[in-house]
C-alpha cells in the first residue's frame, strides 16, 4: 500500500484516523503502533517479524546501555546492536549482487559457481536500520534517555508516515511528542495541505515521466538528445517522487501531532555540490555527517588528506546504503565523493566561479551521477553516458519522439517551472497571485483534486525510494 493509492486514501487513512482520535490520549501510541504494523503487513507481512525483531534488539540494547555504569560495556553493547542491524541490512541488500559477481567471475553460462535463489529486500529495512543506529549512538552519548516502554519505542520505529522511505526522524526530535501531544486544528490543516502538495507532485509530475525514463534507459544506443532528455526526465521524476513522498510523510506526521524535519530544500538550485547535499535528502545527509563522517571517521580534524579520504568513504558508504541490485550505487557515491573533494580543493586554493556557472556545473555533475543511479547496471550506465557525450549520434530517435506525448511535455514543463520558481525574484518578494493567502490555500486543494481524478484512471507507480 502506498500513499498515492485509492486504498490508502479511502480505506486505511480514514479508518486509522477514526480509531486514532477515538483512542484516549494515553493509548494513542498503541493505536499508532498497531496501525503502522498493519500498514506494513498489508504490503509484506512475512518481513514484519524482521522489523519487530530488530526493534526489540535495539530497544533492549539501549536499556542495557542506559543502566550500565561501565563505559566499555556501553560501547560493546552499542556496537553489538549496531552490527546486528547492519548485518541484516547487508544480507538483504548485497547477498544477491555478491553471489552474482562471484558467479560471473568463477562460473559459466552452464554452471553457477554458487547455486542461489534470489532473496528480496524487505521494504523499510534501510530506514529502520538508520533510525536504530542513530538512537543507539545518541543513547550511548547520553544525548537522549533510553525509552523503557517498548510500545513507545516501537511506535517511533514503525510510525507509518516515515516507515517506508523516510524522512529519517531522530528520536530526540519527537521524544516529547511520544510522551504527550495534543490535537491542533491548525497543525492538522497544515499537515493536510502538505500531504495534498506531495500527492500532486507525485501523481502530476513524477508519474507521467516514468515511461519516458524507462524507454531511454533501456535503449541500446540513445543519441545525445535522447539521453539528455531521459536523464533530465529522471532528474525531475526522482525529485518530485521523493520530495513528494517526504512532504506527504511530514504532513501525516503533523496530522498526528509530530513535527518531522524538512527533507528537501530546492536542491537543484544549489550553488555547489556541498550546497546540493545541504538541500537534497537533508535527513540522510545530516545523518551521514553526524554519525559517519564526524563521529566515526573524524571529519576534517586530521588534516586535508584524511579529510578527502573521509569524504570519499562517507559518500561511498552512502551509495552502498542505497544499493542492492548492482554496484552502480557505490559508483554513484564515489562520483559524489570525488565531486566534494574537488570542490573542497578548489575552494582551498582560493578559486571562485560565478554563481550561474557554479550552479550549472553542479547540476550537470548531479545529472551525470543520476545516470548511473538510475541505470540497471554499469553497462547500461555506460550506454547512456555514451549518448550524453555524443558517441551515439545527435538526433532524437523515433521512439523518443513518439513517446513525447502532451502529458509528458506538461509534466516536464511544470516540473522545471516548480524547480526554477523558488529562485526567482517573484517568489522571493511574494509578489503577485502566488504570494496571496487565498492562492496558497486554494491551489493545493485544486491540485490534489485533479491528481485524484488522474489517479482513478491509472495505477500509480511505487515510490522510487521504496527500492532502497
Alpha-carbon span 104 to 326, nearest angstrom: 13
Alpha-carbon span 352 to 368, nearest angstrom: 23
Alpha-carbon span 349 to 106, nearest angstrom: 47
**Hey, what's the cell of 324?**
542492492
Q: Would you call 322 a catalytic residue per the annotation?
A: yes
> Which of 131, 162, 281, 322 is the catalytic position?
322
Alpha-carbon span 147 to 62, nearest angstrom: 8
Q: Where are the alpha helices (DSSP H) in 107-181?
A: 125-141, 150-158, 160-163, 171-179
List of residues 6+ apart from 293 with CB closer than 8 A:
299, 310, 311, 314
Three-class SS of residue 400? helix
CB 36 within 8 A of CB 163: yes
Alpha-carbon span 75 to 369, nearest angstrom: 37
Q: Where are the alpha helices (DSSP H) in 23-149?
A: 28-43, 48-67, 71-106, 125-141
Alpha-carbon span 39 to 35, nearest angstrom: 6
**Hey, what's the cell of 321?**
546504503
DSSP designation for 264: -
The count of residues in the chain is 468
Residues with a catalytic annotation lie at 322
Amino acid at each position: 500500500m502506498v500513499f498515492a493509492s485509492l486504498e490508502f486514501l479511502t480505506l486505511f487513512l480514514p479508518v486509522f484516523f477514526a480509531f486514532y482520535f477515538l483512542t484516549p490520549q494515553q493509548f494513542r501510541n498503541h493505536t499508532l503502533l498497531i496501525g503502522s504494523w498493519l500498514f506494513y503487513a498489508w504490503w509484506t507481512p512475512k518481513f514484519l517479524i524482521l522489523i519487530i525483531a530488530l526493534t526489540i534488539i535495539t530497544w533492549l540494547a539501549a536499556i542495557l546501555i542506559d543502566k550500565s555504569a561501565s563505559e566499555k560495556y556501553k560501547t560493546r553493547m552499542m556496537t553489538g546492536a549496531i552490527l546486528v542491524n547492519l548485518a541484516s541490512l547487508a544480507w538483504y541488500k548485497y547477498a544477491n549482487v555478491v553471489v552474482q559477481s562471484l558467479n560471473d567471475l568463477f562460473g559459466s553460462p552452464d554452471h553457477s559457481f554458487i547455486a542461489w535463489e534470489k532473496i528480496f529486500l524487505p521494504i523499510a529495512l534501510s530506514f529502520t536500520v538508520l533510525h536504530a543506529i542513530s538512537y543507539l549512538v545518541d543513547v550511548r552519548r547520553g544525548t537522549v534517555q533510553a525509552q523503557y516502554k517498548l510500545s513507545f519505542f516501537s511506535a517511533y520505529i514503525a510510525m507509518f508516515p516515515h516507515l517506508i522511505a523516510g524522512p529519517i526522524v531522530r528520536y530526540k526530535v519527537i521524544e516529547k511528542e511520544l510522551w504527550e501531544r495534543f490535537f491542533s486544528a491548525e497543525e492538522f490543516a497544515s499537515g493536510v495541505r502538505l500531504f495534498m502538495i506531495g500527492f500532486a507532485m507525485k501523481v502530476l509530475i513524477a508519474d507521467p515521466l516514468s515511461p519516458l525514463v524507462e524507454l531511454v534507459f533501456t535503449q541500446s544506443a540513445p543519441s545525445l538528445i535522447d539521453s539528455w532528455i531521459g536523464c533530465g526526465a529522471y532528474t525531475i521524476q526522482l525529485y518530485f517522487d521523493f520530495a513528494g513522498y517526504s512532504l506527504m510523510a511530514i504532513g501525516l506526521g503533523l496530522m498526528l501531532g509530530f513535527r518531522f524535519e524538512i527533507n528537501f530544500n530546492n536542491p537543484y538550485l544549489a550553488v555547489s555540490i556541498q550546497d546540493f547535499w545541504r538541500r537534497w535528502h537533508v535527513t540522510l545527509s545530516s545523518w551521514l555527517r553526524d554519525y559517519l563522517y564526524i563521529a566515526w571517521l573524524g571529519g576534517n580534524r586530521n588534516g586535508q588528506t584524511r579529510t578527502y579520504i573521509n569524504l570519499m568513504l562517507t559518500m561511498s558508504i552512502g551509495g552502498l546504503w542505497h544499493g542492492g541490485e548492482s554496484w552502480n550505487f557505490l559508483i554513484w557515491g564515489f562520483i559524489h565523493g570525488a565531486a566534494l573533494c574537488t570542490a573542497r580543493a578548489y575552494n582551498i586554493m582560493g578559486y571562485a566561479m560565478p554563481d550561474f556557472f557554479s550552479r550549472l556545473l553542479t547540476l550537470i555533475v548531479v545529472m551525470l551521477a543520476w545516470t548511473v543511479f538510475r541505470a540497471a547496471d554499469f553497462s547500461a550506465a555506460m550506454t547512456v553516458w555514451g549518448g550524453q557525450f555524443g558517441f551515439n549520434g545527435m538526433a532524437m530517435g523515433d521512439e523518443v519522439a513518439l513517446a513525447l506525448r502532451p502529458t509528458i511535455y506538461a509534466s516536464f514543463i511544470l516540473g522545471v517551472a516548480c524547480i526554477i520558481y523558488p529562485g526567482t525574484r517573484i517568489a522571493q518578494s511574494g509578489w503577485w497571485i502566488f504570494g496571496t493567502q487565498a492562492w496558497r490555500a486554494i491551489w493545493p486543494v485544486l491540485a490534489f483534486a485533479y491528481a485524484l481524478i488522474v489517479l482513478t484512471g491509472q495505477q500509480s507507480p511505487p515510490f522510487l525510494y521504496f527500492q532502497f
